[in-house]
Amino acid sequence: MSDEKIREEAKKALRERGLKCVIGWSADGTPFFAETEEDADKLSFNEHCANNLVTYLTQEVRSQRGKTRDGKDKIVKPVGIVVRGCDSKALRLLLNENILSRSEVFIIGVPCTGVVDKRAGDVLYRKCVKCAMRNPVVYDVLASDQVPEDEKDYSEVEAIENMSPEERWTFWEEIFADCIRCHACKRSCPVCYCDECLLDPTDVAIRPDTTADEKAHRPRWVERSVNVRENLVYHLARMPHLAGRCVDCGECERVCPQRLPLRLLTAKLEKDVKKIFNYEAACEDGQKPLIAMSKMEDENEFIM
């Protein structure tokens, strides 16, 4: 049912809207880029389709941008994508931040009842057990009927908040000792789209006119060496960058090769942002970014 609808809509859009491709999943859950109408027959959505595809979408659109030799903007062919609820929130955030424009994307939404973790033996991902964003929030067409939403569950975060500071530190210290700083979490994150990431000292955009001096003196906020201290700073520093932007889609946790419970961080951040600023990432179209706003009446109590 929903597979047929996805395929039909993908074909129609490839034909009528001149899409570059439709990014979706194949039946075994791997990401699949359908460039022709025959390809589109392989698109599918089922509980194995766990990847958040929005990062691919940004790459597909951005790679087409640029100037032609005579200085005109290159033509960007719109790109199609199949999104679940959580993906669609990330996508809405990118639209709000003008990273993508609505005319560059064609969105097929699939209401979702959860996807399973292959590595853990096909059990539901933790984020999917209680999900408050099952239905896509931005789409051109919906591939199936909407499904009921759950209440967001912060009980795991609260459990950590209720520990003593020493317990909390031990808990996180062990986790950060296991992080190998492969940067998969930030690479796969749909809202981490910077060309140069300040948390990766090797990540410097080299242009033809970049001098040796610039390469040697690139900022090193975090050293590349892997140890608890650098890992701690890495995971602390990511948080303000994600404040009011992270939609808690859980992609970082899903891709982590060390299986670190990163959503304990992102969910905490989301909870704080709600509590302190009464703000929720991507909860409406055209929303202003949290950090780009300021209010005189923000909480002031912690300041001397």
What residues make contact with ligand SF4 under the rule CB under 6 A? 84-86, 90, 112, 114-115, 125, 127-128, 131, 133-134, 179-185, 189-191, 242, 246-252, 255-258, 260, 262, 266
β-partners of residue 142 are: 109
How far apart CA 235 and CA 248 sit, in angstroms, is 15
How far apart CA 136 and CA 149 sit, in angstroms, is 11
SS3 state of residue 117: strand
Cβ-based burial of 196 (10 A; exposed 0-12, middle 13-18, buried ≥19) = exposed
Nearer to other proteins, 86 or 199 (CB): 199
Please identify which residue in 66, 71, 121, 165 interacts with other proteins, judged by CB under 8 A. Answer: 165
How far apart CA 128 and CA 116 sit, in angstroms, is 8
Nearer to other proteins, 116 or 160 (CB): 160
What is the β-pairing status of strands 31-34 and 105-109? unpaired
Please identify which residue in 75, 205, 216, 304 interacts with other proteins, judged by CB under 8 A. Answer: 304
How far apart CA 78 and CA 18 sit, in angstroms, is 7
Q: Is residue 216 close enough to count as binding other proteins by CB under 8 A?
A: no
Q: Is residue 162 close enough to count as binding other proteins by CB under 8 A?
A: no
Q: Is residue 159 close enough to count as binding other proteins by CB under 8 A?
A: no
Q: Is residue 198 close enough to count as binding other proteins by CB under 8 A?
A: yes
* CA angle 167–260–174, rounded 5-degree value: 35
Q: Is residue 155 close enough to count as binding other proteins by CB under 8 A?
A: no
**Amino acid at site 234:** Y
Binding site for other proteins (CB under 8 A): 160-161, 163, 165-174, 176-178, 198, 221, 227-230, 232-233, 236-237, 239-240, 243, 265, 268-269, 272-273, 276-277, 290-296, 298-300, 302-304
